[in-house]
Structure 1
Amino acid sequence: MTEILPARPVLGAIAIVYHQDQVILVQRKTQPNAGWWGFPGGHVEMGETALQAATRELYEETGVQARAIDYLTNIDVMLRDGEGAVQKQYLLTAVLCAYESGSPVPADDALQACWLPVEGLEDSGLELIDQVAEVARLARHTMRKASDKA
């Protein structure tokens, strides 16, 4: 007899690379959020930490290498149908990363990948996925605070 498991949230990790007052964003090519801009990221694989997943996904999606510094925040994403019922749920772990090398080049699942200034991100005219600007500002604040202590 096959056991039917209840639907559960999916764990994902996104890489927040803050460098010279900019962050790396990608324009999604596929659903969910095709055409919208967000941080590089994807599913956490079995046996992998969210820190490892974030840097792996960053490299796979953009060719940029970075070092995971720490967990920055978590983002709950719920995709709903027309009547408001949750169809899919994600818990995204935002991982703050230190840039090491490479220039963002979009992989086959992205239309574009580039550095964008944190300042004025929400006024850039880009269709941003929910909370992108807030998380970018949080990364800037966290990195500035860390450099002030150094």
Structure 2
Amino acid sequence: MESSLIRPTPAVIGVVVREGKVLLVRRNNPPDAGKWGFPGGKIELGETLRVAAAREVKEETGLLVSPNQVITALDVLDRDAQGSLRFHYVLIAVLCDWISGVVEPADDVSDAAWFEIATIGSGERPLSASVPTVAAMAYTLCGGQ
């Protein structure tokens, strides 16, 4: 039985698609340290999903975005070597439109860059779970642009 002290934590990921590319960051911290994923983080008290997504994208990459719509929600369960649950995040993926800015990685990410959606799942880089699927969903919602 899992610890009753661990509760799911709501968080957002900002999925930014621009000209057939998607914005990804390389995480410095667990869970998923060293892996590429979407900019994101915990929702602050009183903050809406859309505001949280725009804030996280700005904090991690320096880009100004306009949050659009919720794409999907994902469970991230992080376990230790013995299988005990350490973290449970519920990530809400929010499609965001790029407004302005040049990608500049912040302190909590080691890198940030635009990647061709068609090559995301090629195995060239370690990815957080569901990145190719969420990127494809976002690309479809953007009308393939």
Q: Report the TM range for the smaller structure's normalisation.
A: over 0.9
Deviations 1:25-64 (A, max 9, x none): 0011122211110000000000001111000000010000
Query: Given the two structures, how large is their TM-score scaled by the length of structure 1?
Result: 0.90
1:9 equivalent in alignment to 2:8: yes
Which range is displaced more, 32-41 or 82-91? Answer: 82-91
Post-superposition Cα deviations, 1:44-89, rounded to whole Å, max 9, x if no partner, equal: 0000011110000000100001101111100100011223232210
Structure 2 distance, partners of 1:59, 1:7, is: 29
Q: Deviations over 1:81-111 (max 9, x none)?
A: 2232322100000000011001111001111
State the match for 1:130 in structure 2.
Answer: 129
Q: Matched residue pairs, number?
A: 142
- Aligned-pair Cα RMSD in Å: 1.5
Deviation at 1:124, TM superposition (A): 5.0
Cα distance in structure 2, aligned partners of 1:28 and 1:6: 26
Query: What residue ranges of structure 2 are gaps of 5+ in the alignment?
Result: none
| Residue of structure 2 in register with 1:121 after alignment | 120
2:59 equivalent to 1:43: no
User: What is the correspondence of 1:72-111 to structure 2 with a 5 Å cutoff?
Assistant: 72-111=71-110
- Alpha-carbon contact 2:64-2:100 (below 8 Å) kept: yes
Question: In 1, distance between residues paired with 2:94 and 2:17?
Answer: 11
Cα distance, 1:47–1:101 mapped onto 2, change above 3 Å: same
Letter in 1 for 2:139: R
Structure 2 distance, partners of 1:37, 1:126, is 7
- For normalisation by structure 2, the TM-score amounts to 0.93
CA distance in 2, matches of 1:98, 1:116: 16
Q: Secondary structure at the match of 2:22?
A: strand
The SS at the match of 1:13 is strand
- Distance in 2, matches of 1:140 and 1:14, equals 15
1:7 positional shift? 2.4
Q: Which runs of 5+ in 1 are unaligned?
A: none
Residue identity over aligned pairs, in percent, reads 38
1:55-70 superposed matches below 5 A: 55-70=54-69
Aligned to 1:142: 141
